[in-house]
Structure 1
Amino acid sequence: MSQMYFFKFLFGEPSPDMAIMDEVQERSFVPLSFELTRQTEIFFEEKLYPQAFNLLLNVVGSGTISSNEVVVPQPEHLAIAATMLVHPNTTTGAELDAEKEAPNIALRLLRLTHALIGSKNAHFHSAFNFTHFESTRQGTRRDSPAPGETILNDKNSLWATAEDFWHAVGWAFNCSVSHPARWKHWQIWLQFICTVLEDDWNERESEFLGAQQRELAERSEREASQGVEPTEQGTRETRRFRKGNNKEDGLGIIRESLIFKYIASNITTYGRDRRIMRAIFADGQPKSAQFSEVFKNELRKSETKQRSSNSKKRSKVVNVDKGEYGDYQSDSDDEYITFSGRISRKISPPAKATKARPTKRTRRGTRNVMDRNAESDTEMLDADHANDLSSLGGYNSLALRQRLLGLLSSVSTRLPKDFVPVDDLYHMFAENIRDLSLPIFQHFITPSNLPGLTMEAHCGLCELLLYLMRESSAPPSNDDYLTSTKLQQCFLPYGAASPTIANNAKISMLLEAMITILHHENAISATPQLKNAAQAGIAHRESASLERGTVEWSYLWESGVRIKFMLDHILP
């Protein structure tokens, strides 16, 4: 079968022939033969990376239609492929054409293996295993490859150089803010890993639920045949499955998931969960400096790029007689890159005082015009900054952070005693979300932007944020779940405890999100009492925000307009 067929399968709409493939009920998976394994290793040792990956691509895809046997690459080969997605020698520091081409072919192999074989059968659990501290205990140092060594060496791979999964995640998100050239490659790796983690979790959860249903059905049939009433026993059995706190709860297959392995293998015992949160919300600032470079000298450019940059500098003409000084008068050398990736200027020593003719005083009218122009420019910069998502790396970075939060929510729901209770997890979510800038806060709490969280989980997160941010005069509620009455009495009429424009805008956005969720569940209607509470709350929050005409005021006002529109035109 041609490779184009598989590219269409991976990246485009499936062809009609895929229906034939879907009808195959059982498919056997066989390991790569010794001869092909040895040939692949020879290609890797000779740094013929495209040849090695093309060989594996052809082998994996050769028997998908003609037979029911699918060849599974060795976990070591998949580990190398994932490493090449981000290793400096094959990305930003690549010198040879084979090194530059390797990441693209490696990604195709990983996607094809995942699509045809699946996370569990492809043994990603073994391939994507972090062994940094195992190597350290064996005396292996974390160094860059020596001359003659290749990425094949265990100590040079991603899985040995990164301390654990959360170290790689934290560094990747730091790169999304501070090092765009590296983020270009880490983003691809993280997107694939998130897909693997999600599919692996869903597959294991489906198997667990299927086994649970089969066991309950068998027990009910057994008790029915013996004339025993199955109701009470079945209830106890269902309760036993839901506890998930002992060896016989049937959750062993869930505990073997890759995401739980990464959680349980966190390098710290104290503060494990908060370290995970810091990795997901890493923003390139000094507080995120604990997630440092995964590879040594990772930010160093390749020699080819350095020579190209130096040649460009030398190519600038210097002719003193004509007043051409090349880049000698450029102040680029007076700039340095901070940890957060922002450009700052070095402070030059003050020049010697020289007698100069005093400048003519600006006329009053002219000065006012200049001041107004300066204020206008400042407001435009503030507006651009307020609408900017770059403080957390942009949309793609935010989407990946949300996918990881969704995975943690699933693990906490299924394994609360092994990981952390759901309420405690949402408190950690809220701690990291409540102080974000308005555009990023809105992106996190908008229902359509959090596909990884269930509606119930998303509603619980918004409700927790409201409890933390609302004013103290708001009454409590004994209802465990959000209802239209609870929303009307406890949340809609009130503002923020700290009545700044930004905090009131966040309160309004949370109320907007909760109305959307209740509408999606058909649990809310626009009664006169609900409309009055909403309008009173909008007026209260706007009156408490004294500064008008700012970007924060725009967020507050627009959210109130959307709430009114939903009440008048969308809700039944």
Structure 2
Amino acid sequence: MAAALRAESVRSSSLSDVGSDISSETRKRKPLIEAAAKPRTRRYHDSSEAPDDFKEQIQILFDEDLRDLAIQSLQSNLFAQSFLSADRPWWVAPPAHIAFLGTLVIHPAHTTKANNDGNNTRIVSVRAYQYLLDVLRSVGPINGHFKAAFAFRDRSSRPGRRRRHSPEESDLNDDDDTLTTKLANADSIWNRVPDFWTMLGWAFACATSYPERWVHWKLWVEFLLEVMERDLEERKALSAELSEKNLETLRSSIIMSYIGEHQLGHILRVLFAYIDGDSHNYKEIWPKETQNTTATNKRKLGDIAELDLERGVYGDWDEDEDEEDEEVEAENNGHVPRSKRRSKKRVAPLVESPLLEETIPIRRRIFALISQVCYDLGQGGKDNGGAPFTIHNLYDQYANRIYGLPLDVFPHFAYVWSDLPAASSMYITLARHLMAWLLPPGCTQPKDVDRETEAKAFVSPIIMERCFLPYATNSVVTDNAKLAVLLWELFSYMWQHDQIALGPYKLNKDGEVQFAPITEEMKAAAEAGIEAREKKCKIKNEAPPSGYSEFEWLDKKMEAIEKDRFAPANVLKLAHLKFRFFLSKETERVAAQRGVSEWGKPGSGKLTLIRKENPRLGGRFLGWN
């Protein structure tokens, strides 16, 4: 009864405090937060920590396990501040409370194992997530102190201490804000796993085997991604406003703290976990986390070993590290031999575990974040303040991993990721690196046919025609199928792109673009490559039997392919079928190129004005060095 009266008093006083003088309670701002508050293009509201009495009230509610009431008070307070004047800073929960709310979002006690009790156990996770999302989108990742809150426990740190990565976090973890509940300490997600990558590996494991858990892990990982993306974007803007030469603000980003000292090979192993056809064994984060959930396959996870971070006992998190050391070291020092990739028995991960397809956009977004921060920080290396990895090494190893993917997964990484920033730049870079892995030695080099375009590392029609399209790779059907898929995706992307034509063009007096059909040379190159790959793989292109129309024969071939769509020969046939069908439809191509206007006037229709001096695929290449 006393606790209930105390809680009611807390709630009443917390709402009445909203209109009080906020400025008298604000703490001294850190340099980066002060910089964010200077006159600028407003991206987020300024923030300040809540007054001590309000924080104490919320802390009491959390420690009394009245979590739903605590979150409702926080949410009501945040909502009320939306009516304040634009220049007034908003109160936000301190980092210790933000971290605790993160645990509530994903902990099984409030998700898959939640009970319908008087404490609204099930709704706590939803309300915690909504509050975090509202804080992120209103005051932003820096003013919301998400970096301090979302810091994973460092194995090498002293018991009970959280990592600090930059001056902006130096005294945000105030001992006065510390919660006493076990769920905010030893049982929090930040203490149960040593780093972001271990957590991500387990999330992917749930997509493979535990759909009930994956529903919640997907939501949580996507939220973390939004935090990291907004954090990097905000830091880039602040760094530009401060005219920083050493890019200290950018180097203090959340994604950089998560990369830390991890080797690129280890990070990529996590990013391709469970879709690469290899075995992985990430462990449950909380004991019996998956109990009473349904496994979607017969593979069982091992027993949970003892985990006690206070005594430096890390269970079996390191169990597989020795097994992957050799591979990671090889990747960090150079290429993994192709023969090693091909010698592994490949399964169809997306066929066995369809939910894994939902992980692919997440994997791509994380890679895009790493790519962006590496590009922005340059190629000076971590030791002298530069990027954690060079762009060339990052994309080369990433392409190597994609090259080794099973055929049901490979196409998901072979087309442009239109849902990501700088999609064209990443796609061009990745396509060039994949081509380097797939094309045979001795093929015509881009520098020998279009030196100007190659100097900028773009892709032009002449490079497609002479350097990519006419080739087959080795005699392995799988490799030729991957090459065919990549060529088709790059070819179709170039044709659809609004700054490229695969045939000659001219501008009339009104500035309208007039396209000729795809050149005979381009068509011949594509057909030569198709024939070369089919010859290597001993596949015959059968002519339609008498009595079959073109579309009847096409339907029959598609039916045969669909019976085993991920068989290497069928993947190859499908890519070639698309090529042949496209090349044979000259009238339809011209009509599509014209768009809704007669000749594709700039700003109307599918195509825009093409400059004669730059007839190449748009988008900045990220560089070889």
TM-score between the two structures when normalised by the length of structure 2: 0.63
1:290 CA drift (Å): 5.5
User: Any gaps of 5 or more consecutive residues in structure 2?
Assistant: 1-40, 163-179, 303-346, 383-387, 448-453, 504-518, 541-559, 595-625
Matched with 1:79 is 99
**Which amino acid letter does the alignment assign opposite residue 401 of structure 2?**
N
**Which amino acid letter does the alignment assign opposite residue 299 of structure 2?**
T
Q: Identity of counterpart residues, as a percentage?
A: 26
Query: Which contiguous aligned blocks of 4+ residues in structure 1 show a shift greater than 6 angstroms?
Result: 23-26
Decide which of 256, 260, 276 is 1:260's aligned counterpart: 256
Decide which of 109, 112, 115 is 1:92's aligned counterpart: 112
Matched with 2:75 is 57
Distance 1:465 1:437 in 2: 15
The structure that has the greater radius of gyration is 1
* Alpha carbons 1:119, 1:200 under 8 Å: kept: yes
Decide which of 573, 576, 596 is 1:557's aligned counterpart: 573
1:535 CA drift (Å): 1.7
Distance 1:541 1:75 in 2: 58
Decide which of 525, 531, 544 is 2:502's aligned counterpart: 525
1:96 CA drift (Å): 5.1
Decide which of 402, 406, 413 is 1:444's aligned counterpart: 413
Computed over aligned residues only, the root mean square deviation of the Cα atoms, in angstroms, reads 3.2
* Alpha carbons 1:286, 1:340 under 8 Å: kept: no
Q: Tell me, what secondary structure is at the counterpart of 1:120?
A: helix
Matched with 1:34 is 52
1:194 and 2:225 equivalent? yes
Distance 2:158 2:277 in 1: 27
* Alpha carbons 1:283, 1:391 under 8 Å: kept: no
Cα deviations by residue, 1:316-335 (Å, 9 ceiling, x for unpaired): xxxxxxxxxxxxxxxx9xx9
Matches within 5 A, 1:63-462: 63-68=81-86, 69=88, 70-95=90-115, 97=117, 98-133=120-155, 137=159, 150-212=181-243, 249-264=245-260, 266=262, 272-283=263-274, 289=280, 291-301=282-292, 337-339=298-300, 388=350, 391=353, 393-415=355-377, 416=379, 417-418=381-382, 419-448=388-417, 451-452=420-421, 454-462=423-431
Distance 2:46 2:62 in 1: 28
Q: How many residues align?
A: 429
1:128 CA drift (Å): 0.4
1:258 CA drift (Å): 0.5
1:514 and 2:490 equivalent? yes
* Alpha carbons 1:132, 1:161 under 8 Å: kept: no
**Which amino acid letter does the alignment assign opposite residue 533 of structure 2?**
R
Distance 2:434 2:354 in 1: 20
| Farther-moved stretch of structure 1 (40-49 vs 129-138) | 129-138
Matched with 1:362 is none
1:544 CA drift (Å): 3.0
Q: Tell me, what secondary structure is at the counterpart of 1:71?
A: strand
Residues 452 and 403 (structure 1 numbering): CA distance in 2 closer, same or farther, change over 3 Å?
Answer: farther
Distance 1:513 1:286 in 2: 23
1:42 CA drift (Å): 1.6
1:44 CA drift (Å): 1.2
* Alpha carbons 2:235, 2:253 under 8 Å: kept: yes
Residues 54 and 427 (structure 1 numbering): CA distance in 2 closer, same or farther, change over 3 Å?
Answer: same
Matches within 5 A, 1:479-498: 479-480=454-455, 481=457, 482-498=459-475
1:394 CA drift (Å): 2.9
* Alpha carbons 2:403, 2:434 under 8 Å: kept: yes
User: Any gaps of 5 or more consecutive residues in structure 1?
Assistant: 1-22, 141-148, 213-247, 267-271, 310-331, 342-384
Residues 249 and 521 (structure 1 numbering): CA distance in 2 closer, same or farther, change over 3 Å?
Answer: farther
When you count helix as a share of all residues, which structure comes out higher? 1
1:66 CA drift (Å): 3.4
* Alpha carbons 2:438, 2:473 under 8 Å: kept: yes
* Alpha carbons 1:173, 1:284 under 8 Å: kept: no
